[in-house]
Amino acid sequence: MTELMIDPEPDTPPRGKWSDVWDQFKSHRGALLGMFIFSVIVLGVILGPFLWPYDATFIDIRARNQGPSLAHPMGTDQLGRDTMARMMAGGRTSIAVGMTAMLLALVLGSFIGLVAGFFRRIDGPLMRLTDLFLALPLLPLLLVLVLLFREPLNASFGPELGIFILIVVAIGITSWMPTARIVRGDVLALKEREFVLAARSIGTTNFRLITRHVLPNVMSPIMVSATLGIANAIITESALSFLGLGFPPDFPTWGRLLYDATNYLQQYPERVIWPGAAISLTVLSVNYLGDGLRDALDPRIRGR
């Protein structure tokens, strides 16, 4: 009489990929701190204006050019507007521009990378297009684009939304190339794998093949380039604002605040510190976040 061999039931549920990723991510202290700081900044600029008593555009001419005090922790500017409120409003715009431009670049880059990697016939032309975009001098072109399309977009969408759309689109269409290249490389390797062949042999259409089998497998490089894309977009927007070609003066962004503060560099040097530190801290935390994410999503490093 032989007993049936029964496999012992595992006590713990199987570990998914994402819990492994999270474990690896947790071990990267800089990345954890970066994520924390970035969340604090994002929450601060979203919720801050609701809690803060002053409005970013409220002018109190009698309280102008004040240093830091209890009522105005970051002081006031030359028109008596509260710098703290302006920083929060500016951060809202800067981070919104960064996120939206990153999303646009990501969608564009992933789409071009997927299509180029998957369909051999259009691979050549699409990659030549990518090389061409990589060879363009981007900052001069961004400046030209902003100058050219500011007026027509202002006329049709209003000065604030118009410049927002313009800057987001301009940054988006000039920063999708690295994502496209990375995604294409990964897709080319994935396409030769057995599970793609298996899916194809049961009659999966190209569209389903891409959305169900290929796209989930290229999510990790896309996520890493997403974090780096935010940092890049925030810096580019601030650079445009700093050169005086960004948002209008009464509509603060961090770059614009820095630009305005440089006029008072001799008298009130502390004014440039706030927006500059905010930009740098955001970019630094996002870069650390991206670094940790890259390590966590790389299966060769994970589990070591």
Partner 1 sequence: MLTYTIRRLILAIPTLLFISLIIFLLLELAPGDPMAQVPLTVPPEVKQQMREALGLGEPTHIRFGKWMWQFLVVEPMHFVDGMLGTGFVEGESRVISWQTRSPVMDIVAQRMPQTLWVVAMSYVVGILIAMPIGIYSAYRQYSVFDQVGTFVTMVGYSVPPFFSGVLVIVIFAVQLGWLPSIYDTTLVVVDWATFKKQFMQMVLPVMVLALQTTAQISRFMRASMLDNLHQDYVRTARAKGLSEWSVVMVHVLRNSMIPVVTVIALGVPYIFGGAIITEQIFKVNGLGQLLITSIQANDLPMVQTVTFMLAVLIVLFNIIADILYGVLDPRIRYD
| Contact residues: partner 1, CB under 8 A | 30, 131-132, 134-141, 143-145, 147-148, 151-152, 231, 235, 238-239, 242-243, 255, 258, 261-262, 265-266, 269, 272-273, 276-277, 279-280, 283-284, 287-288, 291
Tokens of 185: 């490389």
Q: Compute the least distance from the CB of residue 146 to partner 1, in Å.
A: 9
d(CA 278, CA 101): 19
Residue whose CB is less far from partner 1, 152 or 248: 152
Contact 111/178 with Cβ under 8 angstroms?
no
Residue whose CB is less far from partner 1, 119 or 264: 264
Q: Compute the least distance from the CB of residue 137 to partner 1, in Å.
A: 4
Q: Compute the least distance from the CB of residue 33 to partner 1, in Å.
A: 11
Residue whose CB is less far from partner 1, 214 or 279: 279
Residue 21's CB: how many other CB atoms inside 10 A? 19
Length of the chain, please?
Answer: 304
Residue whose CB is less far from partner 1, 180 or 261: 261
Contact 146/196 with Cβ under 8 angstroms?
no
To the nearest 5 percent, what fractions of the chain are helix, strand and coil? 70, 0, 25
Q: Compute the least distance from the CB of residue 117 to partner 1, in Å.
A: 22
261-to-29, 250, 271 alpha-carbon distances in Å: 34, 14, 6
Q: Compute the least distance from the CB of residue 295 to partner 1, in Å.
A: 12
Residue whose CB is less far from partner 1, 36 or 195: 36
Residue whose CB is less far from partner 1, 137 or 303: 137
Q: Which residue's structure tokens are 């691979």?
A: 123
Q: Compute the least distance from the CB of residue 14 to partner 1, in Å.
A: 33
Contact 272/265 with Cβ under 8 angstroms?
yes
Contact 150/218 with Cβ under 8 angstroms?
no
Q: What is the CA radius of gyration of the chain?
A: 24
Residue whose CB is less far from partner 1, 128 or 193: 128
Q: Compute the least distance from the CB of residue 232 to partner 1, in Å.
A: 10
Helix, strand, or coil (residue 76) = strand
